[in-house]
Structure 1
């Protein structure tokens, strides 16, 4: 049973999913879990929903200790659940999910979830179950080995490499993990290179001891400056032999990024993007982020200099250059966001990013259509509605602004940071509409829970003196 995405969620499950997202924002985790369990019962292959219900359970039980110690309540009906897995693995998923509400990291329950998921042909859910166990106990190398084997069996050797690397960090003398990491790395190389010969072994790929050492060094998380330079020398030699190797180019870029050599990192990421003709979205995004980071570093340098040398003869010229750099950064930020939307026109989260950037630039007209579409995405819905209110206000459409902000406000049940922001914006719209009483009512709602929010106290207290 293939997993479904949020976009593929049946219409009947969209309303409870939306309510669950709002409940999460309000930190009403119990209600969110209740809603999400209903969604998962109807759509057991909705992986995003399963991930969110686990996040809610973890947050709900944060700081609590199980009264049963290592034996979860799920342990008492293990035989019954295992029998159900054989008869109806999908139904078993629902039963197991309920047992995880109070002990989300419980190993026994998550192992049952893995078994049921595999029986239901949902390896992604099985992978998630093992990841949850490891999240609860980062030193559980036995489960890590199990996860790595599952990843290899489902054609994800690079992920397996990462897991074996974590095992070695916990137990450096685990020879099975060392060998597994090497074999997984070889499989990942074969996968990237398109090699299909099953008889190809690690020894066929790693021709000498020096290259094997280099590969092991590349899998380490913390690297010294000398180690990075050694790796770069090896990688540069390899890319000279095979200039079209995207993976090697990416690794060179990563090494330069670790060295904080942003210019070289940008050049190599750009080269990797060109090799893939821009088809690898993660490479494109990384290149964009590093270009923005270059601007951030330059801006910080100018601001630091001007703060210390504001009266210097060249300060005015530097201040002008600083403003020019800021404009260039804003232009790049918009350009990259626009390109991402063009490449993925159905991704509503990307449309929200673009709309947010347009609002920051004061371009309300172009931001409106992006945010109107983005509000259909539950994860950014309330923020999109808040920004839409800002756009309508900026364009003098106060009736539309009050309508969208009142709607957003009605979907929030607790005066949290989001609701305070929306309520304040609504009050300011009422003020512009000449409805002072409604404006003060909004301010009072915030005043009752947060005296220090913006100028709410001054406005509320002032209304009693006027």
Structure 2
């Protein structure tokens, strides 16, 4: 827990690999249990909560990683998450997937990469974990996508290509390994060892490309390798992680055609609306809004109403940010400040309205309730915010943030005794390596202790606040107004009895 740590960390729950190892010494898939996670993940994905959906997919894959279908579903959600500005996984989220077995480590590595698709170091670790877990089919499926990413890297070196060659070979992705050696030769044509590697991989690639390996196992041989090039291009474009302008244009044109031919198709509505929204122009966003609303009216699927609402929220957020910048650039202009505050309140009201609608349609998703609590807090509706955060405290992934925010609600209402209790609970729930989350909680605890010292004329509260302040100063003397707080606490300690 960092330099503020106290209390004991609870023991980790047994993982699927742990349980199976205890009985048979090897991983045993549990497809029935995994299916429940996958079903829930699909439902949550439809709400737009891609972050939680990906975690549910990962928990299902720990129970049954076989087959590519679930990995493909996860990958599509990951692309949408990435394109919408999603962030990489936090330490607490990664820790949820801890486990001793190779399947645990593979799924954990896959989840980390799915949350950070352009990170090649993470991608390499995932492929290495896939090889160790025997997930050759997964590795061969993902290899072409990673090769495409490698070719788009700004800085390329022979060592990078040789590392990729080893990793692709580990999952029997011979075509991609062959391509890596070709790239390495291009970087350093004087390396004679590369010529030998290239000769070997050329043979392996030729066998695979010709279909001879499949022919021996009765899987179709050469004829099975013949593909429709137009469909192949469409598939490649749709699965592109770092699509260029030309690819995006092709994707959009195909989506328009599909939507026109299948107006009652949920997938067609989703794809066209998402691609239009991604272009982020005033015209494309209005068209996307229209597509989603039309889809909602025709198909009666709430998710399209939700996506249309998100566009309005996004547009309003940009307006508020622009007003804030103008106000900050002219701090003495009262009119600009008033305009910003008015727009900010309108924005929070709009966002709250959309979240309440979302909560009515997805009442079991507590992350929505937590967001609604944040809006109520910012609007000054502290009692409504308290109710929202209290209902989120028993969900593991929300516990710390909900408890912290509940403390802030109490503090804003002047109930600093209750606030300090919530802050202490939040700190107790922190795990190792979460000092970045610990600092703001400690700061808020310090402020509430100062208020308690003043209201109860009790010097012990002031001295505890001083200890916290001292630790923050030693760690980051520029943190917020900590130097001012240091002086305020010194005055309190002198004025109040022990």
When the two structures are superposed, what TM-score results if normalisation uses the length of structure 1?
Answer: 0.57
Pair 279,393 (structure 1): closer, same or farther in 2 beyond 3 Å: same
Partners of 1:146 and 1:168 in 2: CA distance:
23
Does residue 130 (structure 1) correspond to residue 106 (structure 2)? The answer is: yes
* Structure 2: runs of 5 or more not aligned: 31-60, 72-96, 114-120, 151-175, 180-204, 211-223
Displacement of 1:364 in angstroms is 0.9
Shift of the 350–26 alpha-carbon distance from structure 1 to 2, 3 Å rule, reads farther
Structure 1: 5+ residue stretches without partners: 1-22, 46-79, 91-113, 152-159, 180-201
Contact 1:232–1:252 (Cα < 8 Å) also in 2: yes
- Sort the Cα spacing of 1:240 and 1:361 in 2 relative to 1 into closer, same or farther, 3 A: same
Rate the CA distance shift 1:385–1:428 in 2: closer, same or farther, 3 A: farther
Matching of residue 165 in structure 1 with residue 194 in structure 2: no
Give the structure 2 partner of residue 426 of structure 1: 448
**Is contact 2:16-2:62 (8 Å) kept?**
no
Of the three residues 451, 455, 459, the one matched with 2:488 is 459
Q: Deviations over 1:261-288 (max 9, x none)?
A: 23333333444555553355xx666555
Query: How many residues are treated as equivalent by the alignment?
Result: 344
Distance 1:178 1:228, change over 3 A: farther
The answer (yes or no) to whether the contact 2:389–2:402 under 8 Å persists in 1 is yes
> Is 1:375–1:384's contact at 8 Å kept on the other side of the alignment?
yes
Match of 2:386 in 1: 368
Which of 291, 294, 299 is the matching residue for 2:312?
291
Match of residue 84, structure 1, among 25, 29, 38: 25
Q: Per-residue deviation at 1:375?
A: 1.5
User: Secondary structure of the residue that 1:250 maps to in structure 2?
Assistant: helix
Q: Distance in 1 between matches of 2:295 and 2:253?
A: 18
* CA distance in structure 2 between the aligned counterparts of 1:178 and 1:24, rounded to whole angstroms: 53
Task: Say whether the 8 Å CA contact 1:358–1:364 is kept in structure 2.
Answer: yes
Q: What is the CA deviation profile of residues 213-252 of structure 1, one whole-angstrom value per residue up to 9, with x for unaligned ones?
A: 3443232223333443333223212211111222232222
CA distance in 1, matches of 2:265, 2:372: 33
Q: 1:335 aligns with which of 348, 353, 362?
A: 353
Per-residue deviation at 1:323? Answer: 4.1
SS where residue 223 of structure 1 aligns?
Answer: coil
Which structure would you say has the larger RCO, counting Cα contacts within 8 Å and 6 or more residues apart?
2
Q: Are residues 1:239 and 2:271 paired?
A: no
CA drift of 1:363 comes to 0.4
Q: Offset of 1:330 from its aligned partner?
A: 0.4
Name the SS for the 1:243 alignment partner: coil
- TM-score, L = length of structure 2: 0.54
| Residues in 2 aligned to 1:115 and 1:405: alpha-carbon distance in whole angstroms | 34
1:282-320 Cα deviation digits (max 9, x unpaired): x66655544322122222334445666899xxx887766
Where 2:26 maps in the other structure, the secondary structure is helix
1:358 Cα deviation after fit: 1.1
Q: Distance in 1 between matches of 2:309 and 2:366?
A: 19
Cα contact 1:266–1:290 (8 A) shared by 2: yes
CA RMSD in angstroms comes to 5.1
Residue among 275, 278, 286 paired with 1:258: 278
Q: Distance in 2 between matches of 1:378 and 1:25?
A: 23
User: How many Å apart are 1:367 and its aligned residue?
Assistant: 1.5
Name the CA shift for 1:218/1:303 in 2 (closer, same or farther; >3 Å).
Answer: same
Q: Is the 8 A contact 2:377 2:385 kept in 1?
A: yes
CA contact (8 A) 2:367 2:398 kept: yes
Q: Does 1:228 align with 2:204?
A: no
